[in-house]
Each structure stands twice: as structure tokens, then as C-alpha cells.
Amino acid sequence: MNDSTEARLRIPYFPGLDGLRALAVIAVIVYHANHNWLGAGFLGVEVFFVISGYLITMLLIAERQRTGGVSLRDFWRRRAKRLLPALITMLVGVTLYTSLFNHDEVGALRGDVVAGATYVSNWFQAFTGTSYFSSTAFVPLRHLWSLAVEEQFYLIWPLVMFAVLAGRKYLPRVGLWLIGGAVSISAFTAFFYRSGPLSTPNGDPNPEQYFALFGRSISRIDFLYLGSFSRFSGILLGAALAMFWQPWTIARSRARNAGRAFDIAGVCSLVLLAVLMLQFRLVVEGGPEGTRGYDLLFRGGFLIVGLATVVAIAAVTHPETLLGHKVIGNRVLVYLGQRSYGLYLYHWPIFQFYRKLAGKPLTLAEFVTLMIVSLAVTEASYRFIEMPVRRREFGSSLERLRDTMSHDLAARRVVLSAGLVVCVAFAYSIASLATASVKVTGIEAGIKEGEDDITSVGPTTTAEGGSSTTTPGGTTTTINKEAIDKLAIGDSVMAGAASQLAEFGFTVDAKVNRQFLGGVEITAYLGAIKRLGSVVVVHLGTNNGTDQETLDALVKPLADVRLVVLLTIHVPERGWQDSTNELIRAMPAKYPNVKVLDWFKIADESSSGLSSDGVHLGDNMKKVYADAINKFVALNLLAGSSTTTTEPTTTTTGG
């Protein structure tokens, strides 16, 4: 092969491809910051998958045609130099920070660190049940699932291409097979996915949404969203594009003169991607029927995003498009695109260090501040870690440092001191990670404290002659046939204050993940067997919203109860909060025995007493919660038949 042919087969630099990377990572970061700003920004990950499939396949094709073969060792070495330096730096930094400032979480972090370092985070999350969609956890390494999917592809794909590239004339045919593979994966995803709530109304897992794999019960949505096989569809589409769309062939084809047409197609594809990110909903979200997956996403949504991205890639890599060279390929987007890997790696843990919980939304001011920090960390990593490794400059840098130390005693002391600090910090973080025990912390610990004072009274646990019921903590409580004079029905918020409510004589049936329909089951059952007493308190809505029909079904069996208290909900940034509270506040006008305790107002005024998610109860707030309910009940029992909505007359504050 002569020099001109070899040069022609080297992949040129595409500024538009870096610009497309930048748009994708911006979408993901905005989504991670606040779902309300861009509810489907997670689709940016699918854009990354398609780009990866295209670039990696094109690199392998170019190498085969340039050298006559594919060096698997060289390929994997290049990938390691590209990916590992920043990943290892981030893992060490997260471990050290957690060891120093959030030590109780170190034990729970251990599995994530090992899974992240070995690129199996996606399967680790799916198999351990640490759902990607949980919003009440400290998970600074959750985002590594997508890197695991890509790395698993990098391990497999060169082996496939080694066989495929035996004959160039077969590339178009292989490309068609890859498109067929992507469509088949999408068809499997649609078939394997199940519509409907993820859990029963009473908070138990819905069997339809789970399946057994190697003896483990796996969520179908977690498997499809995180699993390598189901997410390879986008990567295969990118690989298929590389079979047809190669820079060295475009430059010699008639397509070179179609720049304007590709500009139009590229703009249309980017507009479509923007519309999808704005119009698609969260992967899982709560509604009147409970928390459920977004059907459209798993039934063709990923495929649509992949196809739109294919068109966008073709447009920005065309040698004559303004879109690729001037618009998407502008300096700002190119700068961000070149650092997109590091920006994706570092922004999520930085967000988590600040807000503590995965789903807590950031304000605009917080977002701007944290992005400045993320960009600074990313730039430092890019300049001083990633690029020196890629360019093999570490050796020369160390040599220059050694020469400086040999001539400058002060510099030697500084370097040795800094090195000692780094070594001690690294050793401490590794020792902490290896020896820390897994602890129940935060919101989960607060809920577990009241387990012994929770009693199940619903239809699934009641037996003839008295019911033997088992609480989540394993304590058995026997309920006889007498009426339950003061009953409190709730979800995880009430569960946190079960002990405090029990001190006031309430029988508390509160359960994590319970929905409004779960409350309907309980009130209908107890009403049918005449077990209702003089007071029923209901506080639901943490996990889903409701509608008028469900509220009516909840309250109608309570017609003979002297006082029914409905609490408004305080779930900031959840789309159903305001509409649900509006329905609850209107209930006294329809049902004379219903009164409304405005928990939203109390919690909003005493938000410092809430847990870090702004929903659940902090330690001091548990007493505030129970006191508010007890005083409200006492006042309304004294007030008699008044039908107006009442609020506590005492001032309550969070500790």
C-alpha cells in the first residue's frame, strides 16, 4: 500500500462528532441535575452508544484496509489508555471522599467500586436489586453502568470484526445483518417488557415485573435498561453505519456534493432528538395506578433514538456540511465533546457529594456552581492524567520532575510531602473500603426504627378468630375482632413515625411503597368486616398521585367512622404533588366526616427537620408529625360535627 492510500484510509478528525458528543453529555447532565428540566435527557446515553458503535467499527475497518489485519492487542491497549486513567482517578477520589466525609456509606460502596473497576456495574446493579431508578440513595457510582455496557462491547466486537473483515466486499451485507440485529433486539425488548405497575397497591413487588435469572429475582425494567444485550441495539446501528459510511469512500463518491441535503437531514434528526428528550417521560414514574415504566421507551423508543442518531452522525461526518464543521462543530461544543468522557465520569459523583441523594433536584444556582466544579475537575484530569497517558508523556514528565528535585531542595521537600499525603490518603481509603461493614443509614434506617410498632390489618393477613400478622421487621402482632378505635394508614413517611404514633394509641399500618389503591384495599376490607372505630387517619401519596375516583373509593367505606383525617402530601418536585393535594383539600366538601390536615404546609415551614430528600422524616420531625396528627384528631373530636378544614393551632418546628 502506497503512502497516499494509507493516508487516505486514516480517519480524519470530525469536529461535528465531538459536538454531537457534547450535546449528548449536556442532555444527560441536565437530566441528572433536575428531571423537571429535561425529563428524557437520559436518551443522551443512547446517542453515545450509537457514536461508539460507529467510531470503533470504523477504526477497525480502517486498520484492516490499511494494514491487512486487526491487532486485538493494540486495540485493547488503546482502549485501556483512553478509559482507565480517568476511571481509576475517579474511583479513588470517590472512595477517599466517602471514607473521609460519609464513612457510614463506605461499606455499601465497596461492591460499586469493584463492579466499576471491572466494568460490570450494569449487571451488579441489576442482580443486587439496587435499582438505577431509586431516588433515595447515596450512589456516587451509579452512572458507571453505561461505561460497563460500552466496555463489554469493546471486548466482544473486535473478535467479531476480526472474522467479518476477512473480505471487504461483504461489508454492506454485514451492515444489513447488523441493522436486522438491532431491530431484533428492539423486538425482543418490546416482547420481554411488561406494562403495568411495578408493585402491588400495597407495596409488594408485582410478580409480572420480575423474572428469575441464575436464582435471582430480577426487575424486567432494570434488566432491559441496564443489560448489555438489550442496549446493544444502538451500538449495532452505529456499527452498521460504519459499514456503509466511511470518510475515505465518501470523499470519492457522488454523496460528497450532497452537503446541503445532509445539512437538512442532520437538522431534522437533531430536532427529532430534542423533541424526544422533551416529550418522552421518565423511565419509571408514579401515577394513579402506581409506579410504572414508560411503555413507549421500551416498545420502539430506543430504536427511534438510535435511527435519528445515525442520521445525525452521517450529517456531521460529511466533509461538506455546515452542520458538522461550523454549527455542531463550533469551538465550545468541540471543547466539551473532547472532554465528554471525563465530564460524564466526574459530574455525577460531584452532584452526589453535594445533595446526598440520587433524586434530589438541584436549583439553577446549585447546578451552575456544581458544573463549574465539574468542569474544573474534568479539565485537570484531561490535562494532567488522561492526555499524558495517551501521549506517553508520563515518563518524560517524571524525568523532568526528578531533574528538578535533584537541583532544588525545596522542590524535593514539596514533592515528597505531597507524595506522602497521596500515599497515606490512598492507603486509608483502600483500607476503609476493604474493612467497612455495610450499614443501614439515612432514610432506610429511619423507617426501620418504627417497624416493631407497625401492624398489618389488611385482607391478606387476617385469619378467622383473630389475625396473626407479621411486620416488616419480623415482629408478630395479634389483632382481635374488636374495632380498631384509632387507625393510621400510610406509606414510608408514616412508617418513620410509627413508634411515636403508637404512643398516642394509634394502630399503625404503614408500608414502604404503598399506594393509594393499597389504602383502598384496607378501608374496604375493614369496613366490610366492621372493624373500623372512631378515627381513621390516612397519609398516602409518596409513591404516586391519585384521582377523584380512587379517593372516593378510599373514603366511602369510612362513612360510619366519626372522624376521617386525610393528610396532604409533601413530595417536592414530584409531578403529582399539587394535583393530589388539590383533590385532598376538596374532600371535606363532599364527605362531612372528612377533615384535612395540611401536612404540606407544616413540612414546608419546617423543612429543615425532614430527611435529605425533603420527603421523609428526620429524627426530630417524627415527633412533630405524630404530635400534629394527635392534636388535630383531638381538636376535631371536640369540635363535633364541624365540616370545615382544620389545621393544628400549635406551632411546630423541625429540629
In this predicted model, what pLDDT tens digit does every residue of 420-435 receive, in sequence order?
887 888 888 888 888 8
Query: Do 455 and 322 belong together in one domain?
Result: no
- State yes or no: pLDDT of 349 exceeds 90: yes
Residue 548 domain flag: yes
pLDDT classification of 480: cutoffs 50, 70, 90: low
In this prediction, residue 445 carries a pLDDT of: 80
Residue 169's identity, in one-letter code, is K
In this predicted model, what pLDDT tens digit does every residue of 463-473 receive, in sequence order?
333 443 433 33
Q: Which of 365-374, 477-486, 513-522, 626-635 has the lowest mean pLDDT?
A: 477-486
- State yes or no: pLDDT of 550 exceeds 80: yes
Side-chain half-sphere CA neighbours of 28 within 13 A: 23
Query: Do 333 and 466 belong together in one domain?
Result: no
- State yes or no: pLDDT of 645 exceeds 70: no
**Count of domains for the chain:** 2
Listed residues 350, 369, 392: the one ending a domain? 392
pLDDT classification of 167: cutoffs 50, 70, 90: low
Q: Which of 182-186, 302-306, 475-479, 517-521 has the lowest mean pLDDT?
A: 475-479
In this prediction, residue 390 carries a pLDDT of: 84
Query: Do 388 and 457 belong together in one domain?
Result: no
Residue 28 domain flag: yes
Percent residues over pLDDT 70 in the chain: 88
Query: Do 382 and 448 belong together in one domain?
Result: no
Q: Which of 225-234, 279-288, 364-373 has the lowest mean pLDDT?
A: 279-288
In this prediction, residue 131 carries a pLDDT of: 59
In this prediction, residue 465 carries a pLDDT of: 38
Query: Do 609 and 506 belong together in one domain?
Result: yes
**What is the DSSP code string of 80-118?**
HHHHHHHHHHHHHHHHHHHHHH-GGGHHHHHHHHHHHHT
Counting Cβ atoms within 10 Å, is residue 320 exposed (0-12), middle (13-18) or buried (19+)? middle
Query: Do 152 and 276 belong together in one domain?
Result: yes
Residue 116 domain flag: yes
Going by C-alpha positions, the residue among 493, 491, 485 that lies closest to residue 526 is: 485
Residue 369 domain flag: yes
Q: Which of 81-95, 325-339, 609-623 has the lowest mean pLDDT?
A: 609-623
In this prediction, residue 478 carries a pLDDT of: 42
- State yes or no: pLDDT of 648 exceeds 60: no
CATH number, domain of 450, equals 3.40.50.1110
pTM of the model: 0.87
Listed residues 357, 372, 392: the one ending a domain? 392
Q: Which residues contact 366 (CB under 8 A, 6 or more apart)?
A: 354, 355
Strand partners, 385: none
In this prediction, residue 651 carries a pLDDT of: 39
In this prediction, residue 591 carries a pLDDT of: 96
Residue 331 domain flag: yes
Distance between CA atoms of 88 and 367, rounded to whole angstroms? 25
Higher pLDDT, 259 or 365: 365
Query: Do 140 and 277 belong together in one domain?
Result: yes
Q: How far apart are the first and last CA of the chain?
A: 77
Query: Do 26 and 91 belong together in one domain?
Result: yes
Residue 434 domain flag: no
- State yes or no: pLDDT of 436 exceeds 50: yes
Counting Cβ atoms within 10 Å, is residue 651 exposed (0-12), middle (13-18) or buried (19+)? exposed
Query: Do 87 and 163 belong together in one domain?
Result: yes
Distance between CA atoms of 566 and 259, rounded to whole angstroms? 63
Query: Do 321 and 469 belong together in one domain?
Result: no
Residue 399 domain flag: no
In this prediction, residue 607 carries a pLDDT of: 78
| 79 grid coordinates | 482502549
Identify the domain containing residue 173 by its residue range: 3-392
- State yes or no: pLDDT of 57 exceeds 90: yes
Query: Do 247 and 335 belong together in one domain?
Result: yes
In this predicted model, what pLDDT tens digit does every residue of 188-217 receive, in sequence order?
999 999 999 888 888 888 999 999 988 889
In this predicted model, what pLDDT tens digit does every residue of 81-130 receive, in sequence order?
999 999 999 999 999 999 988 888 888 899 999 999 999 999 999 998 76
Side-chain half-sphere CA neighbours of 112 within 13 A: 26
Residue 26's identity, in one-letter code, is I
pLDDT classification of 169: cutoffs 50, 70, 90: low
Residue 404 domain flag: no
Distance between CA atoms of 167 and 165, rounded to whole angstroms? 5
Counting Cβ atoms within 10 Å, is residue 377 exposed (0-12), middle (13-18) or buried (19+)? buried
pLDDT classification of 136: cutoffs 50, 70, 90: low
Query: Do 333 and 269 belong together in one domain?
Result: yes
- pLDDT average, residue stretch 589-605: 95
Listed residues 353, 369, 392: the one ending a domain? 392
In this prediction, residue 130 carries a pLDDT of: 66
3-state class of 132 per DSSP?
A: coil
